[in-house]
Amino acid sequence: MRMRRTAAAVVMVAAVTVTAAGTSVAATAAAPAASVAAAKKPAKAPAKAPAKAPAKAPAKAPAKAPTKAPAKAPTKAPAKKPAKKVSFSALGTITAVDTAKSTVTVKVTGGTKDVKGKTVTITVPSSVAIKLNGKKATLSALGAPQKIQVTGTRVDTAYTAGKVVVTGKKKATAKPKPAPTPTPTSPEPTSPEPTTPEPTSPEPTETPTTPAPEETPEPEVTA
């Protein structure tokens, strides 16, 4: 048994030795071949540096359009406060009456400060009672130069009567006289004037003229 084990070990060692020798021979033979192949290869040209691209000019920023200032919103005028009603009183003389507009114009000689010394036109509503010489009257019964006393309210420059007391008589207005209408006149008949014929004298007739006697020539005397 020992003999067999020893023989097997020897065989294994021999195999390892042969394999190592073959490997070293192959490596030795490959080394010169590699050096020859390296000698035959041409030397590589040095790599060229990549050409630099020309530097681009910086792009100009687009010109900005001038920004318009935002339009200002129209400022609203402050709303006017409604005018307040103010009481007034006027004492004076009527200068005019307009029944179509229901107004009376008064030349004020006394009353509140806002009307004193002025001539104002006052609206007289139909619902306002008018007293003329202690009796009820209408606006059409008033006129210049009656005395009047008015109390009422004023809004700005608009006067409205609340009470009207009038004394005196208004001036009678002369009614325009109608123009006389012309009466048609018939033409008078004209009689033709008698005409007397003028006497006509007969025209003178021409008298025949007698021819003058012809002269006879005298005979010539011969010697």
Q: What is the pLDDT of residues 22-57, one digit of tens each?
A: 445 444 444 444 454 444 555 555 556 556 665 666
- Work out the pLDDT band at 171, boundaries 50, 70, 90: confident
Determine the Cα–Cα distance for residues 140 and 160; give it in Å rounded to an integer: 17
Q: What is the pLDDT of residues 127-137, one digit of tens each?
A: 999 999 999 99
Nearest-CA neighbor of 163 among 58, 88, 70?
88
Question: Cβ distance 111 to 165 under 8 Å?
Answer: no
Determine the Cα–Cα distance for residues 147 and 84; give it in Å rounded to an integer: 29
Residue 65 amino acid letter = A
- Block residue for tokens 């005298």: 218
What pLDDT does 83 receive?
Answer: 76
Residue 65 vs residue 30, higher pLDDT: 65
- Work out the pLDDT band at 164, boundaries 50, 70, 90: very high
- Cis? peptide before 145, omega within 30° of 0: yes
Domains delineated in the chain: 85-167 (2.40.50.320)
Cα first-last separation, the chain:
254
Kindly state the average pLDDT of the residues 86-92: 95
What pLDDT does 131 receive?
Answer: 95
